[in-house]
Amino acid sequence: MSRIDAKFAQLRAEGRKAFVSYVMAGDPDYETSLEIVKGLPAAGVDIIELGMPFTDPMADGLTIQAAGQRALDGGQTLEKTLDIVRALRKVDNTTPVVMMGYYNPIYSRGVTRFLSDAREAGIDGLIVVDLPPEEDSELCIPARDYDINFIRLATPTTDNARLPTVLQNTSGFVYYVSVNGITGTAAASAAAVGPEVARIKAATDLPVIVGFGIRSPEAAESIASVADGCVIGSAIVAQIADGKPVSEVLSFVADLAAGAHRA
* Amino acid at position 155, single letter: T
130 belongs to the catalytic site = no
CA torsion through residues 219, 3, 60, 75, sign: positive
pLDDT for the residue 183: 52
Mean pLDDT throughout 243-250?
98
Q: What is the pLDDT of residues 82-131, one digit of tens each?
A: 999 999 999 999 999 999 999 999 999 999 999 999 999 999 999 999 99
Query: For the chain, what is the domain count?
Result: 1
The catalytic residue among 27, 46, 49, 124 is 49
With contact defined as beta carbons under 8 Å apart, do 223 and 193 qualify? yes
Whole-model pTM? 0.96
Mean pLDDT throughout 231-237?
97
Domain extent, residue 225, equals 3-262
The catalytic residue among 27, 46, 60, 196 is 60
Closest CA to 78 of 98, 60, 61, 54: 54
Helices (H) and strands (E) in the chain, counts: 12, 9
CA distances from 72 to 27, 28, 54, 68, 146 (A): 9, 10, 8, 6, 28
Q: How far apart are CA 208 and CA 259, in angstroms?
A: 18
Q: What is the pLDDT of residues 140-198, one digit of tens each?
A: 999 999 999 999 999 999 999 999 999 999 999 999 998 765 454 557 789 999 999 99
For helices 234-241 and 62-73, angle between their N-to-C axes, nearest 10 degrees: 50
Q: How far apart are CA 214 and CA 176, in angstroms?
A: 12
Closest CA to 220 of 8, 62, 45, 13: 45
pLDDT for the residue 60: 85
pLDDT for the residue 189: 86
Q: How far apart are CA 237 and CA 81, in angstroms?
A: 16
120 belongs to the catalytic site = no
CATH number at residue 236: 3.20.20.70
Q: What is the pLDDT of residues 47-94, one digit of tens each?
A: 999 999 999 888 788 999 999 999 999 999 999 999 999 999 999 999
* Mean residue pLDDT across the chain: 95
